[in-house]
Amino acid sequence: MKLMQNLIRYLVHFSDVMTDLKSNATKSFMGISQTMSGIFNSERFQNFMNGVAIAIDRTFQVINWLTKRNICSWNSPHEIWIPIQPILFTVVGLTYCI
């Protein structure tokens, strides 16, 4: 009987500890969440993301134009890759920096 009482007391205490841990973790995350939300919803961040989207769009327009315009005059895929490579690497690099 005593073993059962100790087990129940332990489980109740464990449950209280886990509830406190969950509550504290939730409270801590709320501060981080509010800060990140403020950053993502700021006008400055929105303007930055719009600029990135425009840059990516323009880059792919240039790549599309280059391939449509010069595809007939190139003899190998290597010649196609030469003008596209720096543009593509810049776009990929920018997306990883964000």
* Residue recorded with tokens 């504290």: 24
Task: Please report, as a single letter, which amino acid is at residue 79.
Answer: E
CB 84 within 8 A of CB 63: yes
73 DSSP 8-state letter: T
Distance CA 84, CA 87 (A): 5
Residues 6+ apart with CB under 8 A from 91: 55, 56, 59, 60
Distance CA 51, CA 53 (A): 5
pTM flag (> 0.85): no
Cα diameter, the chain: 91
Q: What is the pLDDT along the chain (98 residues), one digit of tens a residue?
A: 666 666 666 666 777 777 878 888 888 888 888 888 998 899 998 998 888 888 888 888 887 877 776 655 555 566 667 777 787 778 777 776 65
